[in-house]
Amino acid sequence: MRLTNQLTFLAAFLFMATCAYGQDVHYNYDRSANFAAYKTYQWVEIPGGAVPDPLIDHAIKQAAEEQLRQKGLIKVDNNADLYIGYQFVLNLEKSVSLWETGGAGPGLGWDPWGGGRNVQGQTSTIPVGILLMDLYDVGKKQLVWRGDAIKTINLQTDPDKNYKNLQKVMTKLFKNYPPRVSK
């Protein structure tokens, strides 16, 4: 019974860790940057960071632009205050599901005649996307804001649903841009 409880706890922990890991958003920024001075932005490629699929690349940029527009930033082709770029990584995480089958019957726990309880398991692969958005001060040539979002991705979902999920992630990601300066 002790082994069963430990395995049940392990399965519950892994499930909770996967759910918690599924929608994580963080940000960090340069505390000396004057975010009120930034009015315009321009897209730049971060080598090795962009998605090779042009449709997904366009969707990521479009969802980011919607948020930046709401923050009062204007997209320009040159002479921008900020450069913005993104990096995307797709990790394939392993998930373990365990369940109890058979055994000594309800409430009896250990079977003195050697029957015991059986635990079966199954593993699956869960795609987890990591999106990093970087904003660089053009004049200082330094990173001033970075946001990252980690979310499980259902690759079988229709493109419209995926875009809506991307919009939600971008909303959460840019919620803290510009950062609120605490005094």
Count of the separate structural domains present in the chain: 1
Q: Residue 170: pLDDT above 90?
A: yes
Q: Tell me whether strands 74-75 and 82-101 are parallel, antiparallel or unpaired.
A: unpaired
Residue 162 or 19, more confident? 162
- Any domain includes 107: no
- Residue 76 near residue 128 (C-beta atoms within 8 A): no
- Any domain includes 2: no
Query: Which residue segment(s) compose the domain that 137 sits in?
Result: 23-98+122-176
pLDDT digits (tens, 9 = 90+) for 32-69: 999 999 999 999 998 888 787 888 899 999 999 999 99
- Residue 39 near residue 81 (C-beta atoms within 8 A): yes
Q: How far apart are CA 88 and CA 173, in angstroms?
A: 14
pLDDT digits (tens, 9 = 90+) for 82-99: 999 999 887 676 777 777
CATH number of the domain to which 135 belongs: 3.30.160.670
Lookup: tokens for 27: 């940000």
What pLDDT sits at residue 9? 35
